[in-house]
Amino acid sequence: MSTKEINKLKNEYLEYLEIEKNRSQLTIRNYDHYLSRFFEWSKINSPVGITSDLVRKFRLYLNRNTNEKGETLKKVTQDYYIIAIRGFLTYLAKQDIPSLPSDKIELGKTQDREVEFLELDEVKRLISVTKGNNLSDLRNKAILELLFSTGLRVSELSNLDRTNINLKNGEFSIRGKGGKIRIVFISDSAKDTLTEYLKRRKDLDPALFINFKNPNKDTEKRSPSLLRLTPRSIQRIVKSCAIKAGIVKKVTPHTLRHSFATDLLMNGADIRSVQSMLGHSSITTTQIYTHITNKHLKDIHKKFHSKRN
């Protein structure tokens, strides 16, 4: 089998992810990158060439290799490569193509993820910097309010149209990762800001959040660029607001998603409900928050530790 043929199998696997598994284009591009790099490194031309020893050596390569700055690959990124290889092997088995069984490959043990989130007063400071009267400030305030109110992913926020939002009921459905639909809820504050923002919009563009030209000109007379804000644009807006608010933490849209989940759990929400609101497929993903959000632990320690004294 030639290199061209194993690349053909890789492309068929990527098509399988798109059609059968309904994976996002970003996921497919990432898997393409991980598998291509594995094939280029290993120089194999047949699935039979994938062995436990080869995968072990590839893992050593990933762990020891450094970039131009002398930095090694993060453990979580190394795992993404292995997950892609395991997925490819599972696909080969379904097609009755001989290769290494995917269950022969185990993921390495990784450290618990650190969750960066904002305290409530920091969220208030962040939103307070958008008090300007122009439409761009009102849009930015609506973005921040909606991110903290719903825990949306930045890609989900970017894809929202005006017709998606039900301001009367204060809720709407969103299609998240893997095409899964969930309900998210809008706080009264976010609802008020969105209502005012949409009232001030004079364009007919369907996108909820768009770019505006000449942000310093009169808001009622200037015309919008009619360009939907990209996830990258929203990230820049959030970062800029955080700098203006004097917040030293690295603040991204995902930080507000973490803050949303942390706020719910700290105020007594059960983890299953938070899992549902975040759109996590597995409860283990949501459990990254529990070690920082159990507000009762300190009180319990103080109340019961060394009672004999």
Residues assigned a catalytic role: 153, 177, 254, 257, 280, 289
Phi and psi angles of residue 263, each rounded to the nearest 5 degrees, phi first: -60, -40
Residue closest to 14 by CA, chosen among 69, 67, 78, 88? 88
How many other β-carbons are positioned within 10 Å of the β-carbon of residue 136?
18
Nearest in space to 26 (alpha carbons), one of 178, 131, 132:
178
- Closest residue by Cα to residue 150 from 175, 171, 129: 171
Tell me which residue of 161, 164, 144, 165 sits closest to 235, measured CA to CA. Answer: 144
φ, ψ of residue 83 to 5 degrees: the values are -60, -40
Q: How far is CA 218 from CA 43, 54, 133, in A?
A: 61, 64, 10
Residue with tokens 């190394």: 78
Cβ–Cβ under 8 Å, residues 140 and 199: no
Do residues 162 and 228 lie in contact, with contact meaning Cβ atoms separated by under 8 Å? no
Contact 39, 7 (CB under 8 A): yes
Q: Distance (Å, rounded) from C-alpha 8 to C-alpha 13? A: 9
**DSSP letter string, 134-194:** SHHHHHHHHHHHHHHHH---HHHHHT-BGGG-BTTTTEEEEE-GGG-EEEEE--HHHHHHH
Q: List CB contacts of 115: < 8 A, sequence separation 6 or more.
A: 258, 262, 288, 289, 292
| Pair 108, 214: CB distance under 8 Å | no
